[in-house]
Amino acid sequence: MVLKDVCVVQDVKRDDPGFRDYVTSRRAALLRTAYLLTGHQADAEDLLQAALAKTYLAWRRIEDYGALDGYVRRAMVNTHISWWRRRRVEEYPTDEIPDRPVADHTGDSELHDTLSRALRRLPERMRAAVVLRYYEDMSEAEIAGVLGISLGTVKSTVSRAVAKLRIDSELLGDFGVPRQAHAPHAETSTAAVTE
């Protein structure tokens, strides 16, 4: 038996205007967060769609519509972690490398591209913590709640991630970011100027 245009979820109206308005107004920001979590446009779109589907199913149960962004971000992080765990089992090495489509970078700056690649080189938890901390401007306590880890783990994870980014060879090479070994010379010259 096939049901067309019938929502089988109780208490959810088909084409709810509140949900549609929310998605229309917040889609770009949520897609940006999904992209930063996944590192790929197609995966980001799939992740956002899955998170919005979960949000739609819970739409009538949500009491605080001001916290919708947090609800959707939490759904994205949880779904991304679930997919990542599942993929670890599904991916197998092969002798043949499949053809990969070329990404369109016309709208991105060189720094943005390099930083995105550096973020993709970070482990999943570090990437999620950095994205939530610096791109979503969430507090460490909020990140701990979203990722389901302790505050101390958030602090150490973000600290280690930033340390890895500071020594990333591509960021250092492309943008001439000085290594920390040069810092004492800079302090000496600054001290001489201020005296």
- How many angstroms separate the CA atoms of 35 and 17, rounded? 26
Contacts (Cβ under 8 Å, ≥6 apart) of 111: 175
Instruction: Tell me the CA distances in angstroms from 105 to 77, 108, 109, one per residue in order.
Output: 25, 5, 8
- pLDDT computed for residue 156 by the predictor: 95
The pTM of the full predicted model, rounded to 2 decimals, is 0.46
CA distance 5 to 28: 27
pLDDT on residue 186: 40
CB 114 within 8 A of CB 175: yes
Q: Strand, coil or helix: what is 99? A: coil
- CA torsion sign for 27, 30, 35, 36 is positive
Q: Which amino acid does the sequence have at 39?
A: G
One pLDDT digit (tens) per residue for the chain, 195 residues: 333 333 334 444 556 778 888 899 999 999 999 998 888 899 999 999 999 999 888 888 887 878 888 889 999 999 998 887 766 555 566 777 767 776 665 545 777 778 888 899 999 999 999 999 998 889 999 999 999 999 999 999 999 999 998 888 887 775 555 555 444 444 443 334 333
- The C-alpha atoms of residue 40 and residue 52 are separated, in whole angstroms, by 18
**C-alpha separations of 15 from 36, 113, 189 in Å:** 29, 37, 64
Residue 15's pLDDT is 62
Hey, what domains does the chain have and what are their CATH numbers?
13-87 (1.10.1740.10), 110-180 (1.10.10.10)
pLDDT for 178 equals: 53
